[in-house]
A = this chain, B = another copy of it.
Amino acid sequence: MKTIAIVGTFDSKGEEFLFLKKEIEKNNIRTITIDIGIKGPAFFTPDIQAKEVAAYAGKDIDELLNQKKPALCMEAEAEGIQILMKKLVAEHRIDGMIGMGGGQGSSVLRCAVSVLPVGMPKMIVSTMAMAGGKLFPGVNDTYLINSIVDFAGLNDILVSVIENAAGAICGMVRQEKQPKMCKGPKIAASMFGKTTPCVEQVRKILEQDGYEFYPFHANGMGGQAMEDMITTGFFDGVADITTVELLQDLIIPGTGCSQRVEAAGKIGIPQIVVPGAMDNINVFDGMKNQFPGRRFKKHNAEIWTMRSNVEENCKVGKILADKLNLAKGKTVLMLPLRGLSMISGDGMELNDREADEALFRTLKENVSDKIEIVEIDAHINDPKFAEALCKQIENIVPKNRE
C-alpha cells in the first residue's frame, strides 16, 4: 500500500486538511499527517505534531512561543521538517508528499519538498502558486497548484481544488514507473533557438557515443532548472553551450538567470563552457524604446532580438570568468571565434566582430591558469565546432567511468 505525507498548518486550515486526508484515503492510499501549525491546537489529531517537527531540529516550540517569537517558531518548523522528510524517505515510509498553505505555510512547505528525491511525487497547493519560480525557486519537479481562493473554509471552489489535488497526487504515486537504466554518463546541456544547430549536432554525436543527453532551455527558467539538477548530483558532466542567461540578466535584471554556471563548479563535475548566444538578448516589445540607437531584429510578435555591444560583453565576460575561476572540477572554456549564434557571424544580420572579440579578450584575460582555453576557428553552429566540443567531452567525462 502506498503512503502519502500530508503537511500543513492543521490549526488554521484543519477543516481543509481533514477533507484532503479523506479524499486521499478513499483511493486506498495511506496517509501520514504532519502538523506545522504553531498558532493553536490541531483541528484533528495528526500522526506527527508541530512540536515533534521542531524537536527534530532540536528546538522547543513551547519555549519559543512563551518568548513570543513566532518567526523563530516557523524557522524551527522549516528546519525540523527537512530532517523529518529525509528520515521518512530513507526509511521508505512515504511515496509522495502534498502540502497546502498560504504565504507563511508555503515557505515551510518549500523546505519540505526541497529534500525529496527528484521524481518522487510532490505537490504544494498554495494561494501563491502562480508566482511560479519567482517565489518557489529550486522546486524543480514540485507540482505548484493554485488554490484559487484563500484557505478560509470549504466552499465549492476549494472543494473542487482539493478533490483534484488528491486525485492527482494519488494518481502520481500509483503510476507504474519504468525502471530507469543508466545507459551511459549523463551530460547536461544548455540550448536556445539560436544555438540549436550546435546542440543538436552535439547530441547526435554524444548519443552515438553512448552518452545520455539532457538539454535545458536557456530561457531563464530552464537554466535555473539545470543548475538545480546539477546540484542534486544527477549529472556526470556539463556541456554549457548556451550561457546567454547571464547576459540577459545583466542587461534586464530578472529576465535571465544570474545564478548560471555555478553548480557544476561547486560540486566539482567536469564542464565545457561556451559563451554561446552571448551576442544578443531578448527584449519585450514594450521595452524596446529603453534601448535607443541599438541594433534589433524581430524575433516574434512580442520579442525583439537585441545585439549586445562591447561594453556589455566586457562586463559579462568578467562575470563568466569569475565564475569559472571558482570551479572545483575540470573546466574547459571553448571559444567559437567566428560567431556565437545564428544572428551573428560572417554575413549575418547582427554581426559585430568587435563586440565578440571584446568578449573573447575579457574572458582570456580574466580566467586563471587552471581553466583550459580552446579556441576554434569556426562559427558555433558549424559542425566543426560541435565535433571539437564532443572530443573535449570524451576527454573529461570518460565513458568507462560508469
Least CB distance, A16 to chain B, in whole angstroms: 13
Could you tell me if B157 and A166 are in contact, using CB atoms closer than 8 angstroms? no
Could you tell me if A229 and B167 are in contact, using CB atoms closer than 8 angstroms? no
Least CB distance, A234 to chain B, in whole angstroms: 8
Could you tell me if B159 and A178 are in contact, using CB atoms closer than 8 angstroms? yes
Least CB distance, A134 to chain B, in whole angstroms: 7
The oligomer's copy count stands at: 2
Give which listed residue, B71, B119, B168, B178, contacts A171 with CB less than 8 A.
Answer: B168
Task: Give A131 to B144 CA distance when docked, in angstroms.
Answer: 11
Could you tell me if A225 and B146 are in contact, using CB atoms closer than 8 angstroms? yes
Could you tell me if B150 and A222 are in contact, using CB atoms closer than 8 angstroms? yes
A154-179 interface code vs B (CB 8 A; 1 in, 0 out): 01110111011011111111111110
Q: Does A132 contact B (CB under 8 A)?
A: yes
Could you tell me if B180 and A150 are in contact, using CB atoms closer than 8 angstroms? no
**Chain B residues within 8 Å of A301, by CB:** 71
Task: Give A27 to B170 CA distance when docked, in angstroms.
Answer: 13
Residues 114 to 157 of chain A near chain B (Cβ within 8 Å): 118-119, 121, 127-134, 136, 140-141, 143-146, 148-150, 152-153, 155-157
Residue of B nearest to A164 (CB): B172
**Number of residues on chain A facing chain B (CB within 8 A):** 72
Could you tell me if B229 and A121 are in contact, using CB atoms closer than 8 angstroms? no
Give which listed residue, B132, B150, B175, B176, contacts A133 with CB less than 8 A.
Answer: B132
Could you tell me if B132 and A144 are in contact, using CB atoms closer than 8 angstroms? yes
Q: Does A30 contact B (CB under 8 A)?
A: no
**Chain B residues within 8 Å of A172, by CB:** 164, 167-168, 171
Residues 316 to 360 of chain A near chain B (Cβ within 8 Å): none
Task: Give A167 to B118 CA distance when docked, in angstroms.
Answer: 16
**Chain B residues within 8 Å of A110, by CB:** none
Give which listed residue, B119, B128, B200, B225, contacts A219 with CB less than 8 A.
Answer: B128
Identify the interface centre among A103, A156, A168, A219: most chain B CB within 10 Å of its CB: A168
Could you tell me if B216 and A149 are in contact, using CB atoms closer than 8 angstroms? yes
Task: Give A214 to B149 CA distance when docked, in angstroms.
Answer: 7
Least CB distance, A366 to chain B, in whole angstroms: 28
Q: A141-B148, A150-B215, A167-B173 are in contact. List 8 more A-B contacts (CB 8 A).
A: A27-B171, A127-B222, A143-B143, A148-B225, A149-B216, A149-B222, A155-B213, A163-B178
* A binding-site residues for B, Cβ under 8 Å: 23, 26-27, 71, 102-103, 118-119, 121, 127-134, 136, 140-141, 143-146, 148-150, 152-153, 155-157, 159-161, 163-164, 166-178, 180, 182, 186, 191, 200, 203, 207, 212-217, 219, 221-222, 224-225, 229, 234, 300-301
30 CB contacts below 8 A, A to B, read: A26-B176, A71-B300, A71-B301, A102-B217, A103-B219, A118-B160, A119-B160, A119-B164, A127-B217, A130-B133, A130-B224, A131-B133, A131-B221, A134-B134, A140-B146, A140-B148, A143-B143, A148-B216, A149-B214, A149-B222, A150-B215, A150-B216, A150-B217, A152-B191, A156-B212, A159-B178, A163-B177, A167-B174, A167-B175, A168-B172
Q: Which 3 A-B pairs have the closest CB atoms?
A: A171-B171, A132-B132, A167-B175
